[in-house]
Amino acid sequence: MKKAALITGASSGIGAATAIEFAKNGYFVYLMGRNKERLQEVALKCRSGASIMSCDMTDTNALDKRLNEMLTTKIHRIEVVVNNAGIFDRHSTEEGTDDIWQKEFEVNLLGPVRITRAFFPYFKSQGGGQIVNVSSTLGLRPQGPTSAYSAVKAAMVNWTASLAMEGGPFKIRANCVCPGIVDTPIHGFHSLDTEKKNEALEGMKNLQPLGRIGTPDDIAKAIYFLGSDNSSWITGAILPVDGGINLL
């Protein structure tokens, strides 16, 4: 039975790069996201095979349906869940409405909780599995007006530790990657024209000791490491992949 991985937020950025990285290493990948056309584009780059699971993670009925489709299939052995899907809003506590906080919580934490909760019995029954959560360096060290996002990402870091304790006896590993500033659509500078984007990137160089912001591939390689057998004796790890930004 072919090994498989579920990647959420797989239509672009870190999620797309992660799906391609797992596929390069022989995994069949389940691509979950809202944009079906972009998921199809990613699927074409996954040479080990891919299945598109188009849904909004805040739609619990649609999510339950997609999860049931995966969990009842006998074609692949799903070994890895990567909780990557997320949104980013830049608001202070004073500016952040209940709707903003609720949306951050629903997408960035409750969605991953629902997926992981569904997979725990599956992983137990097959003798183990890997969960990789994608948090943020803002969950470790908040910067500026990002109250809701930082708080929810910090909760994900703490939740990962709980998962590692709960899953350990069943050979279910749980680890967390905390990206720094990465060139993905979640950031406004990503879609600027070439000249303005290069100016923005130049201005961010000195924020990291390594002198550049990250790429989706930088994060994907770390996620793959924690989701693969290369990290078979690692659980509960919180791994910043940030060019050293948290050192400054």
Residue-wise pLDDT for 154-204, tens only, equals 999 999 999 999 999 999 999 999 999 999 987 777 777 888 878 888 889
Rg (CA), the chain: 17
Q: Considering the candidates 27, 30, 122, 149, report the single residue annotated as catalytic.
A: 149
Predicted pLDDT of residue 89: 86
CA 88 to centroid of chain Cα atoms: 13
Residue whose pair of structure tokens reads 């500078």 in the numeric block: 189
Task: Tell me the C-alpha distance between 108 and 31, whole Å.
Answer: 17
- 42: which residues sit within 8 A by CB, 6+ positions away? 10, 11, 12, 16, 19, 20, 31, 50
8: left (phi over 0), alpha (psi -120 to 50) or beta: beta
The first and second tokens of residue 180, run together, are 């720094």
Packing angle of the helix pair 147-167, 111-126 (nearest 10 deg): 10
- Give catalytic status of residue 30 as yes or no: no
Residue whose pair of structure tokens reads 């799906």 in the numeric block: 19
Percentage helix, strand, coil for the chain under 3-state DSSP, each rounded to 5: 50, 20, 30
Under the banding of pLDDT at 50, 70 and 90, the label for residue 26 is very high
pTM of the model: 0.96
The CATH homologous superfamily to which domain 2-186+215-247 belongs is: NAD(P)-binding Rossmann-like Domain (3.40.50.720)
Dihedral of CA 161/217/5/232: which sign?
Answer: negative
